Amino acid sequence: MSYDPPPELVVLLQAVLEGTLTQPQRAELASILASSQEAQRFFVDYLGLHATTQWQAIELFAEPDSSETSSPEPAVCLLSVEESVPPPTPKFAWAAWGLTCSLLMAFLLMVLSGSPPPEPVTVAIVASQPTPKPEEAATTFAGVMRKSDSAQWAAESPHRHTDRLLPRGIYQLHSGEVVIDLFGGGVISVLGPSEFVLNSGQSLTINRGNININIPDETANLMVNTPAADFLHMGTEFAVSVGPDGTSDVIVLDGAIEVQPRLREKLYSSGQLVRAENGFRISPDGRYETLSEDLESQLRNSFSVGSLHSLPLPVPTISPEGFEVRYVKVEPDENIALLELSLADDLLEGRFATREDVTTSGITALDFEERGDGKGSENLFPLDAHFPGDSEGPIDLDDGFAIQATATMLVSQPWIYSFLTNSDDGVRLRIDGRDVIVDDGYHRPTVSVSSIPLEKGKYTIEVTYYNLHRGARLEVGVAIGQCSEVPKFKLLSSVQDSEQ
Amino acid sequence: MDRNSDSEDIIRRITQRQRQLYSYIFSLVLNADDAQEVLQETNLTLWRKQDEIPDVANFPAWACRVAYYEVLAFRKRAARDKLVFSFDDELLARLAGEAEGSLWQDSRAAQLQACLRALSNPSRELLQLRYAASLSIDEVGRKTGRSVAAVSQALYRIRKRLLDCITRKVISEAAP
């Protein structure tokens, strides 16, 4: 039985022959070869085949009718055909010696300049898809405006609508009151006139005005600052009023905050822990003052919008029609090993001959498993269906195949959502044509997570997956918010929670 | 046999082994230019040792040992010049051992021609572009409308088939 090299060795062999082997790849190659005599044998045989084909190319690929009658190119002929250099018959010793030297020189010259053909300059194998940067998408927006009461904004403030994603930027609220849910895990109520900066979903700067901040989750990653101080929350609710000169009045309504004055070089400007029901004033020069009862009361009662709590959000779902899953198996004669997404794309776009091309509708979720148990990452969801589309029973996992799954995804609340793939081998998840996850390359089951803000509405979700051989797994999950904790993800499904 | 005949014979024997030596060296240095350089050094060393050649029982194996020492010398030079080189001594010795006994160190290379004929036309054409026309993978991709990765993968599969084919022929030849 012929040796079947592991995919990582295949990639390294290609890099060797294409002259693109990097230093880390050399180390990896040495490691693979050192651990297997079979790999060593295959390695030298494979490279030997390349070198031999390179050396004998003209002879090997000559037209059959001419190869038997015409003389091959001298270099190739001389170097590859045993009878091609008949011994000369010199008449004199000195002449023979000179001829010998000439032959040797000629031979060396031919070796130096004639053959084999030089290794062509080639490019490395690279994925055709650009590296995704979903984090950039995530930072375009900072949150969602949940409520707006008679709000009048400066014209230069970023566009803002209730129940729509709110971009990062400087906001000037002339009058009225708004409530904003921030991706970083806090809800703020802003009373006009105020000027504030949404630096990101995790960072709020209050330049002036009155803002109430509720951060119920101790682990939330929201930074709040004014010209006078940074406020580090500890699961709290507090109200801040910033005057024109940057002086900040603060009252802690629940929990506690740590205050770090901006000018920490002053002796009297040390950090302070302030607990609930306490108020204080801090000026931009770092000076603390006690807040009068009147000011405390005014700050406490200035907000009228009501309780500040994040709304319970439903997780995105797939429409009742489910996924349409196209399963395409490459024709073995195509000599294609599906090692990266560009090849899967080529296969799905019909650039290779296919052995099977089957489309199945009504798939509720993407949770497919074939002999993947016990490998690499945990099997996250229990559905573990067979890959759909194979018409002859269990798929032959020794041949490469690709999956393209498309569905309509329903988002009922604008927010930032996280998507997860657990895949062996590569996978790409796109939403409305935008790369959200790109996990390219053959590998053991690997979990990838990425977050993206989505408005309320319908989206086309497209999952492209491929498997080279052996075990195969594809799981696609979703979670609310910027989430990286795998247990919080649910299977992205057309079946509602209660039915799952 | 007089000295002239000896020299001619030596040249012929060295010449006949060029392909095998190149293949052997290439599998140890992993680079065509480096393999060429080591092959030239090997040729010179073989020529300098011509007096020993008539007494050598197994010339191919002996030539491989000479090439192996030239690979080691090349590696030392490369290290001195801070050039990158590949494997440690132990692995290099093991690969050299495998390479000496590989398919390409005897007449079995002749099977390559027959196995090439057994390939499908598209596969053969791909090899032809890569080797006979000396096109880079990139150029082959442009010519055939395939991505670089697709060409690279196809070439791997074709080479693997050729190796399997040659191995089968070698085994069937060896069978009683």
> Is the pLDDT assigned to residue A375 strictly greater than 80?
no
> Is the pLDDT assigned to residue A80 strictly greater than 50?
no
Secondary structure (DSSP) of A446-476: EEEEEEEEE-SEEEEEEEEEEE-SS-EEEEE
First-to-last CA distance in chain A?
Answer: 46
> Is the pLDDT assigned to residue A380 strictly greater than 80?
yes
Tokens read off for A350: 């019909």
> Is the pLDDT assigned to residue A88 strictly greater than 70?
no
CA–CA separation, B142 and B122 (whole Å): 15
pLDDT in tens, B120-154: 778 888 898 998 888 888 888 888 888 888 888 88
User: Which residues of B fall within a CB distance of 8 Å from A50?
Assistant: 26, 159
pLDDT band at residue A106, thresholds of 50, 70 and 90?
very low
pLDDT in tens, A325-355: 999 988 877 777 788 888 899 899 998 888 8
Is residue A108 less than 8 Å (CB to CB) from chain B?
yes
Is residue B39 less than 8 Å (CB to CB) from chain A?
yes
Chain B interface test: which of A26, A41, A45, A346 (most B C-beta within 10 Å)? A45
Is residue A118 less than 8 Å (CB to CB) from chain B?
yes
Tokens read off for A163: 């129940």
Rounded to an integer, what is the distance from CA B57 to the centroid of its chain? 22
CB contact under 8 A, A335 and B123: yes
pLDDT band at residue A211, thresholds of 50, 70 and 90?
very high
Is residue B104 less than 8 Å (CB to CB) from chain A?
yes
CA–CA separation, B73 and A23 (whole Å): 21
Among the partner residues A48, A100, A336, nearest to B150 by beta-carbon distance: A336
Is residue B175 less than 8 Å (CB to CB) from chain A?
no
Is residue B121 less than 8 Å (CB to CB) from chain A?
no
Pairing of strands A203-215, A223-225: parallel
For residue A389, the 8-state DSSP code is T
Chain A contacts in chain B segment 51-80 (CB below 8 A): none
User: Which residues of B fall within a CB distance of 8 Å from A78?
Assistant: 15
pLDDT in tens, A479-489: 998 888 888 99
Give A297-303's long-range contacts (Cβ < 8 A, gap of 24+): A299/A210, A299/A239, A299/A241, A299/A249, A299/A251, A300/A239, A300/A251, A300/A253, A302/A191, A302/A210, A302/A239, A302/A241, A303/A177, A303/A189, A303/A191, A303/A210, A303/A212, A303/A239
User: Which residues of A fall within a CB distance of 8 Å from B5?
Assistant: 87
Among the partner residues B18, B164, B167, nearest to A79 by beta-carbon distance: B18
Tokens read off for B29: 């240095």
pLDDT at site A339:
80
CA–CA separation, A326 and A361 (whole Å): 9
User: Which residues of B fall within a CB distance of 8 Å from A117?
Assistant: 131, 134
pLDDT band at residue A101, thresholds of 50, 70 and 90?
very low
For residue A91, the 8-state DSSP code is S
- Nearest Cα to Cα of residue A420 among A486, A323, A375: A486
Pick A117 or A289 by higher pLDDT: A289
> Is the pLDDT assigned to residue A110 strictly greater than 70?
no
CB contact under 8 A, A85 and B136: no
CB atoms within 10 A of CB A35: 10
pLDDT in tens, B12-56: 778 878 888 888 898 888 888 888 889 988 988 888 887 777 677
Considering just the CA atoms, what is the radius of gyration of chain A in Å? 34
Is residue A14 less than 8 Å (CB to CB) from chain B?
yes
Give A113-119's long-range contacts (Cβ < 8 A, gap of 24+): A114/A74, A114/A75, A115/A55, A115/A75, A115/A76, A115/A79, A116/A51, A116/A54, A116/A55, A116/A57, A116/B22, A116/B32, A117/A54, A117/A57, A117/B131, A117/B134, A118/B32, A118/B33, A118/B134, A119/A19, A119/A54, A119/B31, A119/B32, A119/B33
Complex ipTM tops 0.90:
no
Mean pLDDT of A95-123: 36
CA distance A111 to chain B (A): 7
pLDDT band at residue A442, thresholds of 50, 70 and 90?
confident
CA nearest to B4 within chain A:
A96
pLDDT at site A318:
96
pLDDT band at residue B8, thresholds of 50, 70 and 90?
confident
Mean pLDDT of A178-201: 90
pLDDT at site B106:
64
CA–CA separation, A74 and B16 (whole Å): 13
